[in-house]
Chains A and B, each alone.
Chain A
């Protein structure tokens, strides 16, 4: 790759974007206007809410005791209110002598009337004191003995409010505070009158000590909000330039001009990627800075008006520093994803439609760290995007030791994702069907007809995806509809049914209908003779490592109590079943059925991408996802990659079936052994892994079978160097 060309393309694209008024507005002008405007409006709204009076209708006020007095001149006594503002803003209307709905038979109609009063907005809440309220209170205070149930009703005032209306909720809170304070005052007076210590009603007090440093406490809110805002803007900032640089150029016809130039596709992608990344980072940073500035200003204003520090402080400077650092790999990731998606779009308009799916994928990952209880640990640090966000949170909150512990996994996963995203974007640029996609009309009937009548030797990429999705959907719906069987016979039958009907059958039928050479598609050919014992040996050698990996995954992502509870009866059922039957249903059937589908049809289709490793990875992911439970899926994906590698290297399904059968059989047999946890010690795991590596090295030495696309990709990736013109 010539970095000079990358630099030239980067410089041109940046200049081009800087000359685009729309980009400039979205990236530079919008944040400068947006946050100050938002800050001002929110302060206005807050002011409005704070200042807004709440209208309260008080019924039965004539029943109130003279002492202690609650209401004076249509106001609650200010000593019972939270502050002077509340006393002023609680506007009371006294409805003395009116019906209060405590009479038998009148309660329902009274409730309806109160609901109507609040719904019409005449009052925000209604406070109702029952008949004889003051007298009964006086009785109780005089120690008239225990309060009997009818009297208990009598001393229960009612607050009518509507939780769906903010002002009504606010009114409820204010009245509740006043009544609580009034009641406490009464209790204190009663205690004093009876010469009892105040401790009678409160034998002990609780003292709360927040051990979080003040800075961390004030940074806590920002540690959740800032990473989210920055990442959203990094994604948005990447998306729009990416659309203009790819789909926009396609539409304007300038992309082909560039493709004819000496710049290689990799150079074009890296030049464009760097541009998108710069704009993604610039957007995020500018938003971060302006938002932080606005927040600092707003917090200072609010603190000045409140006369005391607020619970939430200004965004700490360290937060901005950490965000800038974390932004580099995340912007690269988002930029590569956006570039790949934008290349796929035919026009800028079509490109806009792809923003939503991208957001749908990334938003849950951004929201996850904001959920209560989600903390930075090894498991969460390995989740793309979420891991970095949690890492950022720890850094902003000053938990440096914890952050240092998980920096490597969080950044490692991000860099890995970034690598795959960039490769995908380059692939899109090398894919002429993507670059020259035209707006052909798509008709299902024609497509289906052509799919069958003009089928190729092996399935297309789209057919492989279709098969994978079909299997996933059928498995999902079958698991939703079927109940857990009560006996092992039922479990074995349902397992066999799923394997044969929902996994093997779609793959077989699609091979026959959608390909010219089903045997080649399903790799139904004999491998190198030594590959047969090698596959069995590999499964045996890898087994200790796979078991340890399973344990590690369970430690990393512990199974929920609910899932464990659901799986327990199945485990008990399996222990009752004869081993031979289990081997048939859970080792032999999956070995044949799943291999036909995932290493046969699906992997053959994915190899049309031109990348063997990506095809193996993608088929393994589909294989993993069909296992349903997260912990099993991760493990199955890893095993699926070994199986895919075996299929690609040996060109036959037989080694995969044998590996799969041996692997599953060992798991089932190990489950039957007493103290099965103790089977493998570290030495066994290391020796087994070394043996597995040796076998895989031998498998690697087997002659390779490339598809046409893989050969073509090889030429694209390793072209001969060009001379320099002087």
Chain B
């Protein structure tokens, strides 16, 4: 469903010059699976997911979503996925209903189909009380519900959640994870990025630990713990990151730019 091979991304910024955000990552995500990208801030999770959603272009490598190439077929890719991120906000001056309807129309859904789907989604996500509430008047939890409704209104086979729980209180975060879990049960192919260990432990079928644009480890939670002989994901995560930082400082990695970035 999602196939990523040797994906790289580098960019230049005014202060630091050339930066390598992704140094060649590869992974596959299947339908009915939640794939967790776990990493500290700046690990490259958002960059990877922005490339998958065609918002950014990769510097190298390849990625396909439901068979469509993210570089050569961006319009098709965007139709295959729903993207929810801490960065994808809701419109202040639109009501919940108007917002979801707007994106449904952009996805080209027919009027009747759109209305039916919206009724179902608003019921399922318990959003009927915010149908006519403007985005600016909504709480963060309400806004996140609208974001999810917007992302699934066209019933996409692939869903991407990029640190979608950041800034949410425990109750809303738990409800969101419940929704993600339900979507997995419906056979959706889901990528879920987070830097919170417990979320990854509870939700993900497969986890990739990411740091400085690289995968440090990848596999099911049990496999990861067993291979590294750890009992706790947090310990495993901390150990891998520290180990990698030590090697990085020692200049052990060659990046696409030819040196440690």
Q: Mark A426-454, 1 if CB is under 8 A from B, else 0.
A: 00000011011010111100110111011
B79–A722 touching, CB < 8 Å: yes
- Given A16-B94, A257-B89, A454-B17, are A715 and B79 neighbors across the interface (CB < 8 Å)? no
Residues of A within 8 A of B76 (CB): 720, 722-723
In the complex, residue of chain A having the shortest beta-carbon distance to the beta carbon of B55? A259
A720–B73 touching, CB < 8 Å: yes
Q: Mark B4-27, 1 if CB is under 8 A from A, else 0.
A: 000000011111111000000000
A715–B71 touching, CB < 8 Å: yes
Q: Identify which of A9, A253, A450, A725 contacts B108 (C-beta below 8 A).
A: A725
The reply to whether the CB of B53 lies closer than 8 angstroms to some CB of chain A is yes
A446–B89 touching, CB < 8 Å: no
Residues of B within 8 A of A5 (CB): 106
Q: Which 5 A-B pairs have the closest CB atoms?
A: A450-B17, A253-B89, A722-B75, A260-B83, A454-B17
Closest Cβ of chain B: how far from A5's Cβ, in Å? Answer: 6
The reply to whether the CB of A148 lies closer than 8 angstroms to some CB of chain B is no
- Given A5-B106, A252-B89, A432-B57, are A257 and B150 neighbors across the interface (CB < 8 Å)? yes
Tell me, in angstroms, the Cα distance from A263 to B107 when the chains sit together: 8
Residues of A within 8 A of B13 (CB): 438, 440
Tell me, in angstroms, the Cα distance from A260 to B55 when the chains sit together: 6
A260–B88 touching, CB < 8 Å: yes
Tell me, in angstroms, the Cα distance from A450 to B18 when the chains sit together: 8
The reply to whether the CB of B249 lies closer than 8 angstroms to some CB of chain A is no
- Given A8-B106, A440-B13, are A264 and B75 neighbors across the interface (CB < 8 Å)? yes
The reply to whether the CB of B120 lies closer than 8 angstroms to some CB of chain A is no
The reply to whether the CB of A529 lies closer than 8 angstroms to some CB of chain B is no
In the complex, residue of chain A having the shortest beta-carbon distance to the beta carbon of B59? A708
A254–B90 touching, CB < 8 Å: yes
Tell me, in angstroms, the Cα distance from A720 to B16 when the chains sit together: 36
Among B11, B12, B14: residue with most chain A CB under 10 A: B14
A261–B72 touching, CB < 8 Å: no
Residue count of chain B within 8 Å CB distance of chain A: 45
Closest Cβ of chain A: how far from B174's Cβ, in Å? Answer: 23
Closest Cβ of chain B: how far from A491's Cβ, in Å? Answer: 43
A725–B154 touching, CB < 8 Å: yes
The reply to whether the CB of A682 lies closer than 8 angstroms to some CB of chain B is no
Residues of B within 8 A of A724 (CB): 108
Closest Cβ of chain B: how far from A422's Cβ, in Å? Answer: 20
B56–A254 touching, CB < 8 Å: no
22 A–B contacts, CB within 8 A, in A order: A8-B102, A257-B88, A260-B88, A261-B103, A262-B108, A432-B56, A440-B13, A442-B14, A446-B17, A447-B15, A449-B17, A450-B17, A450-B18, A453-B17, A454-B18, A460-B12, A712-B57, A715-B71, A719-B72, A724-B108, A725-B109, A725-B154
Q: Mark A240-282, 1 if CB is under 8 A from B, else 0.
A: 0000000000001110110111111000000000000000000
The reply to whether the CB of B92 lies closer than 8 angstroms to some CB of chain A is yes
A262–B102 touching, CB < 8 Å: no
Tell me, in angstroms, the Cα distance from A15 to B98 when the chains sit together: 11
Tell me, in angstroms, the Cα distance from A433 to B56 when the chains sit together: 9
Residues of B within 8 A of A716 (CB): 74
Closest Cβ of chain A: how far from B134's Cβ, in Å? Answer: 8
The reply to whether the CB of A202 lies closer than 8 angstroms to some CB of chain B is no
- Given A719-B73, A719-B74, are A726 and B110 neighbors across the interface (CB < 8 Å)? yes
**New A-B pairs, 7, CB < 8 Å, besides A15-B93, A260-B54, A440-B13:** A5-B106, A252-B91, A256-B88, A719-B73, A719-B74, A722-B75, A725-B79
Closest Cβ of chain A: how far from B73's Cβ, in Å? Answer: 5
- Given A447-B15, A722-B75, are A253 and B87 neighbors across the interface (CB < 8 Å)? yes
The reply to whether the CB of A20 lies closer than 8 angstroms to some CB of chain B is yes
Residues of B within 8 A of A441 (CB): 15
Residues of B within 8 A of A438 (CB): 13
Closest Cβ of chain A: how far from B101's Cβ, in Å? Answer: 10
B106–A433 touching, CB < 8 Å: no
Tell me, in angstroms, the Cα distance from A262 to B88 when the chains sit together: 15
B11–A433 touching, CB < 8 Å: yes
The reply to whether the CB of B257 lies closer than 8 angstroms to some CB of chain A is yes
Tell me, in angstroms, the Cα distance from A253 to B13 when the chains sit together: 21
A715–B72 touching, CB < 8 Å: yes
Residues of B within 8 A of A257 (CB): 88-90, 147, 150
Residues of A within 8 A of B103 (CB): 261
Tell me, in angstroms, the Cα distance from A454 to B259 when the chains sit together: 10
Tell me, in angstroms, the Cα distance from A237 to B64 when the chains sit together: 43
The reply to whether the CB of A721 lies closer than 8 angstroms to some CB of chain B is yes
Q: Identify which of A436, A447, A725 contacts B14 (C-beta below 8 A).
A: A447
In the complex, residue of chain A having the shortest beta-carbon distance to the beta carbon of B88? A257
The reply to whether the CB of A19 lies closer than 8 angstroms to some CB of chain B is yes
The reply to whether the CB of A12 lies closer than 8 angstroms to some CB of chain B is yes
B106–A262 touching, CB < 8 Å: yes
A-B contacts counted at CB < 8 A amount to 120
In the complex, residue of chain A having the shortest beta-carbon distance to the beta carbon of B72? A715
Closest Cβ of chain B: how far from A38's Cβ, in Å? Answer: 31
Tell me, in angstroms, the Cα distance from A526 to B245 when the chains sit together: 47
Tell me, in angstroms, the Cα distance from A314 to B132 when the chains sit together: 48
Tell me, in angstroms, the Cα distance from A726 to B79 when the chains sit together: 12
Tell me, in angstroms, the Cα distance from A12 to B113 when the chains sit together: 21
Tell me, in angstroms, the Cα distance from A311 to B15 when the chains sit together: 62
In the complex, residue of chain B having the shortest beta-carbon distance to the beta carbon of A432? B56
Residues of B within 8 A of A454 (CB): 12, 17-18, 257
Tell me, in angstroms, the Cα distance from A441 to B14 when the chains sit together: 8
Residues of A within 8 A of B184 (CB): none
Residues of A within 8 A of B79 (CB): 262, 722-723, 725
Closest Cβ of chain B: how far from A77's Cβ, in Å? Answer: 70
Residues of A within 8 A of B108 (CB): 4, 262, 724-725
Residues of A within 8 A of B89 (CB): 252-254, 257
B12–A446 touching, CB < 8 Å: no
In the complex, residue of chain B having the shortest beta-carbon distance to the beta carbon of A447? B14
Residues of B within 8 A of A460 (CB): 12
The reply to whether the CB of B105 lies closer than 8 angstroms to some CB of chain A is yes
The reply to whether the CB of B145 lies closer than 8 angstroms to some CB of chain A is no
Interface residues of A in 396-447 (CB under 8 A from B): 432-433, 435-436, 438, 440-443, 446-447
Residues of B within 8 A of A262 (CB): 75, 78-79, 106-108
Tell me, in angstroms, the Cα distance from A261 to B156 when the chains sit together: 12
A256–B106 touching, CB < 8 Å: no
Q: Identify which of A15, A263, A442, A450 contacts B106 (C-beta below 8 A).
A: A263
The reply to whether the CB of B165 lies closer than 8 angstroms to some CB of chain A is no
In the complex, residue of chain A having the shortest beta-carbon distance to the beta carbon of B83? A260
In the complex, residue of chain A having the shortest beta-carbon distance to the beta carbon of B257? A454
Residues of A within 8 A of B33 (CB): none
Closest Cβ of chain A: how far from B225's Cβ, in Å? Answer: 34
The reply to whether the CB of B144 lies closer than 8 angstroms to some CB of chain A is no
Tell me, in angstroms, the Cα distance from A715 to B74 when the chains sit together: 9
Residues of A within 8 A of B56 (CB): 432, 436
Residues of A within 8 A of B53 (CB): 260
- Given A263-B106, A443-B15, are A19 and B93 neighbors across the interface (CB < 8 Å)? yes
Tell me, in angstroms, the Cα distance from A433 to B55 when the chains sit together: 11
- Given A720-B72, A722-B79, are A254 and B15 neighbors across the interface (CB < 8 Å)? no
Tell me, in angstroms, the Cα distance from A260 to B75 when the chains sit together: 10
The reply to whether the CB of B85 lies closer than 8 angstroms to some CB of chain A is yes
Residues of A within 8 A of B55 (CB): 256, 259-260, 432, 435
Residues of A within 8 A of B17 (CB): 446-447, 449-451, 453-454
Residues of B within 8 A of A722 (CB): 73, 75-76, 78-79
A440–B90 touching, CB < 8 Å: no
Interface residues of B in 49-71 (CB under 8 A from A): 53-57, 71
Residues of B within 8 A of A443 (CB): 15
Tell me, in angstroms, the Cα distance from A5 to B107 when the chains sit together: 9
In the complex, residue of chain A having the shortest beta-carbon distance to the beta carbon of B82? A260
Tell me, in angstroms, the Cα distance from A436 to B154 when the chains sit together: 27
Tell me, in angstroms, the Cα distance from A264 to B54 when the chains sit together: 11
Tell me, in angstroms, the Cα distance from A19 to B137 when the chains sit together: 14
Residues of A within 8 A of B257 (CB): 454
Tell me, in angstroms, the Cα distance from A440 to B17 when the chains sit together: 11
Tell me, in angstroms, the Cα distance from A453 to B108 when the chains sit together: 49
A8–B107 touching, CB < 8 Å: no
